[in-house]
Amino acid sequence: MHFVVTIDNTGETFRCSDESNVLQGMEQLQRKGIPVGCRNGGCGVCKVQVTEGLYTKRKMSRGVISVDEEASGCVLACKIYPQSNLRVEVVGKMARAVLAQKSMSFDFGFATATVINQPDEEK
């Protein structure tokens, strides 16, 4: 069964099977929008806030998703499987890059990287 995933930040949509995780669904269609990191629940780069819809999930690293975050729908796109249409907002540490990529003006000096990379989960 397929559902529609909408990325709030950019308005992009893609169809995703309930047997694929949201990141995999996006990558299979050669779509961008959610930053891709390890794809395996460890790095936190694909962190999204689910703003609407139902999903099932698999284990994700506590180093990047706290218990409270997980409970409030702040999860990793690589570890959630849609059970209805979904709306997600990209909030991971490369979120800024999503918009930068969209304007095709992506610049990657080390200093910029350091700023992008401030780990918001380690406050």
> Which residue number, 51 or 56, has a Cβ lying nearer to other proteins?
56
The yes or no reply on residue 66 touching other proteins (CB under 8 A) is no
In the chain, count H helices and then E strands. 4, 7
- 27 phi/psi in degrees, rounded to 5: -65, -35
From candidates 26, 43, 77, 88, binder to other proteins by CB under 8 A: 43
Alpha helices of the chain — where are they, by DSSP H? 22-28, 67-71, 95-102, 110-116
Rg over alpha carbons for the chain, rounded to the nearest Å, is: 14
4 binds other proteins (CB under 8 A): no
* 115 Ramachandran zone, left/alpha/beta (phi>0; psi -120 to 50): alpha
Q: Which of 19, 28, 29, 38 binds other proteins (CB under 8 A)?
A: 38
11: which DSSP letter? -
Binding span for other proteins by CB under 8 A among 4-12, 47-55, 58-66, 83-91: 58-66
Residues 91-110 within binding reach of other proteins (CB under 8 A) = 93-94, 97, 108-110
- Which chain residues interact with other proteins by CB under 8 A? 35-43, 45, 59-63, 93-94, 97, 108-110, 113-114, 116-119, 122
